[in-house]
Amino acid sequence: MKRIDILKKTNRIVIKIGSSILCDSKGGFSRDAVIGVCKEILFLLKEKKEVILVSSGAIACGMDMIHVTKRPKELPLLQACAAIGQGKLMKVYEDFFVKKKYHTAQILLTQDIFYDRGRYLNTRNTFNALLELGVLPIVNENDTVVTDEIRFGDNDRLSSAVAQITGADLLINLSNVGGMLDFQKKVISEIGSESELDSLKNMVFESKAEKTVGGMKSKLDAAKILMSSGIPMIIADGKDFSILRKIFDGKNIGTLFIPFKQKASFTKTWLIYSASPKGKLILDSGAFDAVQHKGKSLLSGGISALEGHFKAGDAVRVMNEKGYEFARGLTNYSREELDKIRGRKSAEIEGVLGYKFYDEVIHRDNLVLLKDRAGEHDH
């Protein structure tokens, strides 16, 4: 797909702005830079695009307020900086947009919203409601309360998760570099395949900054996830305060990562990247072959063993006899029910349970093969 076609089709856009853009040349939080970015976003809102902003800068802003120059290593101080900075950051955005007759809405996320399907759906619905109201959602990690287990870690990962959860048409990652550079330090305008992307990883040099996290490697990881979920991404120079206009004018600017897969369904995306499965279904070799290679749903007859506790509707891991997890899906039956019907034909389910809601234990529409995940291959 060509850049121009991608841009023409783009309606819902996630824009990620890194702390390095929102800080001035001395590394201090720059209100002017935030305003520069706001003007660009206003242009997109006026074009009737749906915009979701993922803004870093809470920690940098908080550090500035209390005159801390190096990113704190102690967690309470770091989280205190985020708490101090987040409100100030939002105030700059809100003050700008309210004058232009737009509302902003703060959304602070932690990775655990993706562990549970109910919370995942809830988050998506909130985004949809805000966008329908014409409000600009402004997202950050909930740095103040986050612990290692539920941390995105950087806003490159957070923004790609937001693009997936909202089914965005494009993620624009505004950073302090003009895009991916080749060996001659020229911006590469397009990356169109997984292998091109992988070869770039060897060329990435990271410079350590005092106030920021992320970097080119995490941008490439985010790009890979998006390319395999059917969402294009552009890395471009956020220091240029007319960058979004240039991109939407069709200028060949920044690096465009073109998806190598179709956009995945919402359920499948959640199953691949976000689900925290509750149990395991171990299949015999015939069922493994039917599911892995023949596009079939999973039936009770092919299940040879079970592990863990799960209810109907939970996400479960689907394993082959060698213990390799090759798929995930939403089970139509609970552990207790499957204990009774595993190894039996679908026609026997009603006789054993006294009812039958579904022929399939996992319907194909609710099943995803993990080889479809970026970087995974057939076993």
Residues that bind ligand GLU (CB under 6 A): 18-19, 56-60, 140-141, 143, 154-155, 212-214
- 52: Cβ–Cβ under 8 A, 6 or more apart, which residues? 12, 13, 14, 15, 127, 131, 136, 137, 139, 162, 166, 168
Q: How far is the CB of 365 from ligand GLU (least distance, A)?
A: 35
Instruction: Find out whether 233 and 170 touch, Cβ atoms under 8 Å.
Output: yes
- 162: Cβ–Cβ under 8 A, 6 or more apart, which residues? 14, 52, 54, 109, 127, 139, 168
Distance (Å, whole) CA 323 – CA 189:
42
Quick one: 18 or 238, whose CB is closer to ligand GLU? 18
Q: How far is the CB of 289 from ligand GLU (least distance, A)?
A: 43
Q: How far is the CB of 263 from ligand GLU (least distance, A)?
A: 25
Quick one: 155 or 300, whose CB is closer to ligand GLU? 155
187 forms beta bridges with 181
Q: How far is the CB of 361 from ligand GLU (least distance, A)?
A: 40
Q: How far is the CB of 19 from ligand GLU (least distance, A)?
A: 5
Q: Which residue has the tokens 């307020």?
A: 65
Quick one: 18 or 329, whose CB is closer to ligand GLU? 18
Residue whose C-alpha is closest to residue 280's, from 263, 249, 264, 303: 303
Quick one: 29 or 96, whose CB is closer to ligand GLU? 29
Residue whose C-alpha is closest to residue 236's, from 258, 252, 214: 252
Q: How far is the CB of 57 from ligand GLU (least distance, A)?
A: 5
Alpha-carbon dihedral angle through residues 252, 7, 374, 219, given to the nearest 10 degrees: 50
Amino acid in position 258: I
Distance (Å, whole) CA 304 – CA 295:
20
Quick one: 172 or 362, whose CB is closer to ligand GLU? 172
Q: How far is the CB of 173 from ligand GLU (least distance, A)?
A: 10
Quick one: 143 or 337, whose CB is closer to ligand GLU? 143
Quick one: 109 or 299, whose CB is closer to ligand GLU? 109
Residue whose C-alpha is closest to residue 231's, from 161, 174, 136: 161
Instruction: Find out whether 283 and 297 touch, Cβ atoms under 8 Å.
Output: no
Instruction: Find out whether 15 and 53 touch, Cβ atoms under 8 Å.
Output: yes
Residue whose C-alpha is closest to residue 340's, from 306, 315, 312, 367: 306
Quick one: 151 or 263, whose CB is closer to ligand GLU? 151
Helix (H, G, I), strand (E, B) or coil at 126: helix
Q: Which residue has the tokens 């213990």?
A: 323
Q: How far is the CB of 189 from ligand GLU (least distance, A)?
A: 25
Quick one: 1 or 66, whose CB is closer to ligand GLU? 66
Quick one: 27 or 301, whose CB is closer to ligand GLU? 27
- 311: Cβ–Cβ under 8 A, 6 or more apart, which residues? 278, 334, 335
Q: How far is the CB of 321 from ligand GLU (least distance, A)?
A: 42
Q: How far is the CB of 60 from ligand GLU (least distance, A)?
A: 6
